Amino acid sequence: MIRALLVGALVIAAVLAGEASACPTDAADRAAALRKRLDHERARAERWRWGWSVGFGVVAIGQGAMVIAEYTPLGEFDDAAEASLVAGTAKSIIGLGARVIAPIKVPHPTVTGDPCTDLAAAEAALARAATSEKRSFWLNHLGGLALQIGGALYVGLSADAAWDDAAISFALGYAVGVSSTYTQPRAAWGEHRRAPEARTWQVAPLVSPRARGLAIVGSF
């Protein structure tokens, strides 16, 4: 019981100490600088989103038109060529939809005029932007890989001896997907990952005449 009470007291004291931490003297400047970086990141995210959306849209329209016209610039328009164009059209439409429906979100932090409040809001906005960029990066990687595998299987199973076309479809589609993924903005994610961890923990031995144990201390 004594050990539990002492550990609880230390934990409560650590929480109160974290909440009572002093506001930085340069909070206003730091908040303004962080808002400026977020504005830049938001503009980059919008350019990346709409640039790739337009690109995927043009490719989808072009390949869809070739399917309707039964034309391919690379040899004869056979079952394998048609399957490759259909798969390419579908993948481009999915790529377009992913960027329109689930864009990278870089929030606008609120500005109240209080330096401490504004800095906290800017840091929270940076954390949300970092989470959005991280999620987008990995979803593009894993979702893109699954999409290319599905497209290659569709092409390979749609016609006899079409696995060469399936491999080409996979290679081209994966190269485009990786290019899109690695050109997306990731500055907020990188900055937030390099920032010092807000939650700190320490474990120290607790020794008293009647108790032995561990004390958990820190700000969290």
State how far Cα 21 lies from the chain centre.
31
Q: How confident is the model at residue 48 (pLDDT cuts 50, 70, 90)?
A: very high
Q: What is the four-CA torsion angle of 57, 59, 65, 66, rounded to 10 degrees? A: -170
Element housing 84 (H / E): helix 79-101
First to last CA, the chain: 24
- Is residue 77 within 8 Å of 70, Cβ to Cβ? yes
Query: Residue 98: which residues within 8 A CB-CB, separation 6 or more?
Result: 139, 140, 143
Q: What is the four-CA torsion angle of 110, 114, 115, 120, rounded to 10 degrees? A: -50
Element housing 66 (H / E): helix 27-69
Query: Which of residues 34 and 210 earns the better pLDDT score?
Result: 34
Mean pLDDT value across residues 95-108: 94
Output the average pLDDT for the chain.
84
Sort 85 into a burial class: Cβ within 10 Å, 0-12 / 13-18 / 19+. Answer: buried
Report the residue count for the chain: 220
Per-residue pLDDT tens digits for 134-152? 999 999 999 999 999 999 9
pLDDT at residue 205, as a whole number: 61
Is residue 202's pLDDT more than 60? no
Mean pLDDT value across residues 178-187: 95
pLDDT at residue 23, as a whole number: 83
Q: What DSSP character marks residue 219?
A: -
Is residue 12's pLDDT more than 50? no
Is residue 19's pLDDT more than 50? no
- Give residue 58's identity as a one-letter amino acid code: V
Q: What crossing angle do the helices spanning 27-69 and 115-158 adopt, rounded to 10°?
A: 20
Q: How confident is the model at residue 5 (pLDDT cuts 50, 70, 90)?
A: very low
pLDDT at residue 14, as a whole number: 46
